[in-house]
Structure 1
Amino acid sequence: MNIVQLFISLGFSQLLIAAKLSKPADAEMSNPLFGNNYWIVESSTIHPALDLDMDGKPDTDVLILQEPCDRDDADLFRADGVILTDWGNIRCDEEEEGITETGTWKFNPQKQILTIKKDHSRKLMEAKLIQKTSNQLTFTAHHKSSKSEHVITLKLKRKL
């Protein structure tokens, strides 16, 4: 998985065989970065533009790679380092039910770096927190393509 896919996997479903989970008691714990909130991808851009969908035209919107059924998926970053994904109301397949554990995370507050390991990927993904409000988190990461260095910006919004 490359860094472009980092921002897709932060807030989107993965094709997993998932067991339905009830909300664990320790999910009530809060953490200073995410709180006890689910987060949905609001936008993800790449600059300079890169042909992400292989149609021959440079793209700036990373979300063009997102399936419509993934748009309501949301992640909860539990204080114990576990990521729970709420698959939303629009299902991509029958296995997406309820809330499932989909990976682990950690945050380095000194460097403002979020590190994520999703169950479907062998690689760690890293992004730098550049802005935080009570309803929005903005991260950046760098990607080197054969043509250029790119900056990917991901905005997460708190699910209400």
Structure 2
Amino acid sequence: MKKFFSTSKQSVHLYLAICLAGAACSKFNDKKEESNDTGFKDKKWIIDKAQVSPALDLDGDGQKETDIKSTYNECDLDDYTVYKGDGNMVNNTGSIKCEANEPQEEITGIWSYNESTHKLTMTETGEDPAIMDVVSSTSNQLFLSYPITQADGTVYTITITFKKY
């Protein structure tokens, strides 16, 4: 499984990312602390849709795309993420592996959720944190938004819809 997003070909996994997250944020409250005690935890989340706006040449072919998921390798399409109650993100490669020696499951980083700001923070091992807006959620779906500002000032907005696996 690849990192959440780059300006080259990418496999979004929510951090999101993937996010990368779950169900309980349908009842937001006024708690102001970071927490891992949410409906996000211990459920399997798979990316249903991943888009970028404005369009970007994601695969280096000279054509700008908005559908990030269309650039995924087939082996990445069944990958899912579990947001563990202990704050770890665990990625599972699903039934189709990209490489024979790829681990079936591995801890890829940490996550936390701020209920008062509706922000999901995911930090992959060795990477900077990605802070995503939880736009909406249900027991079976999570919708995240993540702005990325490039050096030239262009702001790309990544939107990711996860579904329960």
TM over 0.5: yes
Tell me which moved more, 56-65 or 132-141: 56-65
1:38 aligns with 2:44: yes
Structure 1 residues 10 and 128: CA distance shift in structure 2, 3 A: same
Distance 1:46 1:115, change over 3 A: same
Equivalent position of 1:49 in the other structure: 55
Q: Paired residue for 1:26? A: none
CA contact (8 A) 1:11 1:74 kept: no
1:148, distance to aligned residue in structure 2 (A)? 2.9
Residues 97 and 150 of structure 1, relative CA distance in 2, 3 Å threshold: closer
* 1:73 maps to which of 70, 75, 79: 79
Aligned to 1:16: none
Query: Which residues of structure 1 form unaligned runs of 5+?
Result: 13-29
Contact preservation (8 Å) 1:4, 1:143: no
Alignment RMSD, CA only? 2.5
- Map Cα deviations across residues 39-66 of structure 1 (whole Å, 9 max, x no partner): 0011111111112222222110112332
What SS does the corresponding residue of 1:140 show, helix, strand or coil? strand
Q: Is the 8 A contact 2:44 2:81 kept in 1?
A: yes
User: Which structure 2 residues correspond to residues 91-130 of structure 1 after superposition, within 5 A?
Assistant: 91-119=97-125, 121-130=126-135
Q: Which ranges of structure 2 fall in alignment gaps of 5 or more residues?
A: 17-35
Are residue 137 (structure 1) and residue 138 (structure 2) matched? no
Work out the CA distance in 1 between the residues paired with 2:123 and 2:92.
17
Secondary structure, aligned partner of 2:78: coil
Q: CA deviation at 1:118?
A: 1.2
More helix by share: 1
Is the alpha carbon distance of 1:3 and 1:87 closer, same or farther for their aligned partners in structure 2, counting shifts above 3 Å?
closer
4+ long deviations beyond 4 Å: none
Equivalent AA in structure 2 for residue 133 of structure 1:
T
TM-score, structure 2 normalization? 0.75
Higher mean C-alpha deviation, range 54-63 or range 129-138: 54-63
